Amino acid sequence: MNVKTSNNLTEIIGKQKVINKPEVLDRYSHDNSFSSPMQPRLVVHPRNADDVQKTVTWANRTKTPLVPVSSGEPRFHGDTVPSVPEAVIVDLRRMDKIIRIDRRNRMVVIEPGVTYTQLQPALAAEGLRLSTPLLPRQSKSVVTSLLEREPTLVPKYNHTLLEPLRCLEIVWGNGEILRSGDAGGYYPTLEQQWEMGLAQVFSGGPGQVDYYRLVSGAQGSIGIVTWASVKCEILPKVHRFFFIPSDNLKDLIECAYRLLKVRLGDEFLVLNSANLAAILSKDADGIQALKNKLPPWVIIMGIAGRDLFPEEKVDFQEKDTRDIVQQYGLELLPAVSGIGGGQLMSTILNSSPVTYWKLIYKGACQDIFFMSTLDKIPEFVDTVFASANALRYPVSDIGIYLQPQHQGTACHCEFNLPYNSGNKAEIDRVRELLETCSEALIKQGAYFSRPYGIWADMVYNRDARNKEMIRTIKGIFDPNNILNPGKLCF
């Protein structure tokens, strides 16, 4: 590629793709986290991989920090807020093409600006679907969600924590392009690969290195992904949702282990009454009223039947599930507190409404999330509740979401702390609760596998060897430290 040598970015990729309006820059200077605000210098809207490569090459020449962004507002983790002055935001949302849907191989190739709201209807038209995170916001980038390892709802198809992500096209921090997996073989373009019957299915390589893992969870600090191939599921012909309620979390966990072991069901998650009410309600009053009626804890389980004998498959799984649940003194129910499985299914299998569901109750929310195993979750719940009581934060407001992953061998544990962003006392209380809980949980064994914000120091100060290894990798692929400096341990 012939890259212009000008130091003026507008001359390199085009004036219409570079924005410096103060009102636009201000929107990227902060998010819904407690990260310190910092206004970027410019916002760039690339249209293709060539634009991205030119921008990265220019940034290396001028030593300009770049902050990749793929999802729209609201944003929550501080990873898209600049950490150093004079940074340029690389907003990939206009790269929003669904490049190819391959029904035979159940694959889709998409650009980073594609959202779940855009992708799911297109897949449904081909008889496919994608397992999503819990109610992703309408502006959420599919590629970002997968790269950041956000948990999806179907643990039995979650063969690795990166599932269903496969091949990537990556512009490294040094400006070079690599296609990972079997997309990095002998045929340089996707079109040539498709002509040869290749479908970008295998994620390993090229060679002996799984390059796609290097950009996973890296918060845009190693490379910028310009397209990704993703494995899809067959769209169910019959789909039913059920509830397994309980007053005791430990009883639910024992039952969950048994169900996960024999791979029953598709969607499988655990919510407390606060989060289930927040998902089902349209306003704060509705949340408050509903959570007082709901059981304290509930397993939500979807059972799906696809092309072959769908009714029979759902029926036998429902019967087997009911038999197992009864062994633990629990019930498999089609509805709880007047909420039917069909109503919940239509809610959960779509994106969040216009107002993101975590913001409905009080207008703002901070999350604490980490990885563990299901059996340890009750101890973490006790820790968070004790810290909340000490700081006089209402325990009844704390939402809890447990998502088994990797076929049930691991669990995403998430605590949601809603608060009023206009009340300084509440802000200070939640900020302190976030810090004290996070420190207590990591000492207790919580694994913060996605260390945003304050968690980065907690994680990397405890693991000097891995910290040095990650810095070495950063030095290879981004030697001038232009990609999102200040995040992770960089």
Give the start-to-end residue ranges of the domains of the chain.
9-91, 98-234, 238-348, 362-444
* Spatial separation of the C-alpha atoms in residues 12 and 70, rounded to whole Å: 21
* Spatial separation of the C-alpha atoms in residues 65 and 480, rounded to whole Å: 9
Q: What is the pLDDT of residue 279?
A: 95
Q: Which of 3, 7, 4, 1 is nearest to 61 (CA)?
A: 7
CATH 3.30.420.10 given to domain 238-348: no
Q: What is the pLDDT of residue 4?
A: 45
Model-level pTM? 0.94
Q: Which of 298, 282, 252 is nearest to 399 (CA)?
A: 298
Q: What is the pLDDT along the chain (490 residues), one digit of tens a residue?
A: 344 445 689 999 999 999 999 999 999 999 999 999 999 999 999 999 999 999 999 999 999 999 999 999 999 999 999 999 999 999 999 999 999 999 999 999 999 999 999 999 999 999 999 999 999 999 999 999 999 999 999 999 988 889 999 999 999 999 999 999 999 988 889 999 999 999 999 999 898 899 999 999 999 999 999 999 999 999 999 999 999 999 999 999 999 999 999 999 999 999 999 999 999 999 999 999 999 999 999 999 999 999 889 999 999 999 999 999 999 999 999 999 999 999 999 999 888 888 899 999 999 999 999 999 999 999 999 999 999 999 999 999 999 999 999 999 999 999 999 999 999 999 999 999 999 999 999 999 999 999 999 999 999 999 999 999 999 999 999 999 999 999 999 9
E strands, 3-49, are: 18-19, 42-44
Q: Count Cβ neighbours within 10 Å for each residue of 73-111 and write b for 16 or more, e otherwise.
A: eebbbbbbbbbeeebbbbbbbebbeeebbbeeebbbbbb
- CATH code: domain 362-444 is 3.30.70
Residues 410, 361: contact at Cβ < 8 Å?
A: no
Q: What is the pLDDT of residue 5?
A: 44
C-alpha radius of gyration, the chain, whole number: 23
The size of the chain, in residues, is 490
Q: Which CATH class is domain 9-91?
A: alpha beta
Helix (H) or strand (E) holding 143: helix 142-147
Residues 384, 391: contact at Cβ < 8 Å?
A: no
Helix (H) or strand (E) holding 216: none
Q: Report the largest interatomic distance among the alpha carbons of the chain, rounded to a whole angstrom.
A: 71
Q: 98-234 architecture in CATH?
A: 2-Layer Sandwich (3.30)
* Spatial separation of the C-alpha atoms in residues 79 and 137, rounded to whole Å: 17
Q: What is the pLDDT of residue 329?
A: 96
Q: How far is CA 338 from the centre of its chain?
A: 31
Whether 9-91 and 362-444 share one fold: the answer is: no
Q: What is the pLDDT of residue 354?
A: 82
